[in-house]
Amino acid sequence: MPRTHGYSLKGERCYGEHDWHSRGRVNVLGALHQQELLTVTLIEGTINTDVFYSWVSQELVQSIPAKSVVVLDNATFHKRETIRTAIEERGHVLEFLPSYSPDLNPIEHKWSQAKARRRRYRCSVTELFAQWRT
């Protein structure tokens, strides 16, 4: 994540000294239960329906408590019927948030905290979540 602000003399260009070594996009999939992250998976590249289904069936349903209510936003890759089936076959209930309501999604606040921490400590996504796993 590049810095959003910098300082320089008036009229002069601001140059940074930190090399961010941009390596491409890293997406994070995670599950939140009672304000604690249950599972976090880092995905290099974009997330599509196949990637999300694999995460749901291999990570999510394995780590959440029995008879949980799984709440997803309305991202298009959340909507495949096999995802609903994978969740409901394990005895969980699937619900969707109303459209355009990120404030109702508590995990968005966790991601915001993670991004702020990453900026503060100047660490990579991998380093940030390696701390969570220990």
Distance (Å, whole) CA 38 – CA 77: 21
The DSSP code for 68 is P
So what's the pLDDT on residue 132?
64
Domains, the chain, ranges and CATH?
28-133 (3.30.420)
Of the candidates 88, 85, 92, 80, the one whose C-alpha atom is nearest the C-alpha of residue 50 is: 80
What are 6's two structure tokens?
């910098």
Q: What is the pTM of this model?
A: 0.75
The predicted-structure confidence for 68-122, as pLDDT tens digits, reads as follows 999 999 999 999 999 999 999 999 999 999 988 888 988 988 888 888 888 888 8
Please identify which residue in the block is written with the tokens 């921490």.
117
Is pLDDT at 14 greater than 90 in this prediction? no
Please tell me what DSSP assigns to residue 98. P
What pLDDT digit, counting tens, does each position of 41-57 carry? Answer: 989 888 999 999 999 99
- What CA–CA distance (Å, rounded) separates 31 from 37? 6
- Single out the residue of 16, 9, 38, 17 nearest to residue 133, CA to CA: 38
Whole-angstrom distance between the N-terminal and C-terminal Cα of the chain? 24
